[in-house]
Amino acid sequence: MKSKTLPVSYRLAVTSRVLAAVIGGYLMASLASICLALWMPTSRADAVITGMMSSFVFYLLAVLWCFACRSAVRAWFGVMLPSAAFATLAGLGFWMART
């Protein structure tokens, strides 16, 4: 019986999606948590708890996005664009807190 092997390009595309989901999803979830902790108009403890609990939702959405896209490039773009937006908002929040 012959065994069919998958092409290398397919394997690399799946590996790239897994890395985008794991690394990019973690990055996006942690930056979203930081943004929520900085920008919520509640006490600092409540904002941190809410940010940390909502980070699981952001991570789930990132993983779902990475495997629902048509290409690995779109998966990376779809995870890094919100991460850049969250990083900008976090930087702005830190800057506003310092002044």
Fill in the DSSP letter of residue 34: H
Q: What is the pLDDT of residue 1?
A: 61
CA 4 to the chain's CA centroid: 34
The C-alpha angle 11, 26, 53, rounded to 5 degrees, equals 140
One-letter amino acid identity for 37? A
> Would you say the pTM of this structure is higher than 0.95?
no
What are the residue ranges in the chain where pLDDT is below 50? none
Q: Per-domain residue ranges for the chain?
A: 19-98
- CA atoms of 94 and 67, how far apart (whole Å): 33
